[in-house]
Amino acid sequence: MPDVEMTIQVAQDRKVTAIEIAPLGQTPQRLVLALDELDKLIGELGNARSRMVEGQSPPDFESDDVTISTAANTKWHIRAFPPAGALLAFYHPKFGPVGFTLPRDQIARIISFLTDRFILQPTQSAEKH
């Protein structure tokens, strides 16, 4: 695949985004998308990426080399699906609503981890006792 120049601009009124793509040295092709169209494109790109990494091992999250797109202080929702597990959904500013499902054993590991770190371990106090 040839090298490609790409620019993405959001309109001042934030109602559309313009994407220009051009192989090096060629005239760019311009695509103007509303938010729902951009969401659909992001979803289709996600589907394509999913097919491209099929069969590959997921990244090692213990490694410092892994970049994670973090969403802080976001709206989130948990829905239980007994006995199978639960859905954890949240709003990611880059990708919109996203979520994942967890089986019972992974939920138990998360609860154990959080309990150990935040409930059973005393918090550090600035005061000396």
Q: Could you report the per-residue pLDDT of 20-79, keeping only the tens digit for each?
A: 999 988 999 999 999 999 999 999 999 999 999 999 999 998 888 999 899 999 999 999
Q: What is the predicted pLDDT for the residue at 81?
A: 86
Q: Smallest Cα–Cα separation from 107: which of 86, 89, 90, 83?
A: 86
* Residues pairing with 80 in the sheet: 86
* Residues pairing with 5 in the sheet: 22
Q: What is the predicted pLDDT for the residue at 125?
A: 59
Q: What is the predicted pLDDT for the residue at 118?
A: 84
Arithmetic mean of pLDDT over the chain: 90
Q: Smallest Cα–Cα separation from 46: which of 55, 36, 54?
A: 54
80-95 pLDDT, tens digit each:
988 889 999 999 999 9
The whole-angstrom separation of Cα 69 and Cα 32 is 25
Q: Smallest Cα–Cα separation from 5: which of 57, 20, 15, 108?
A: 20
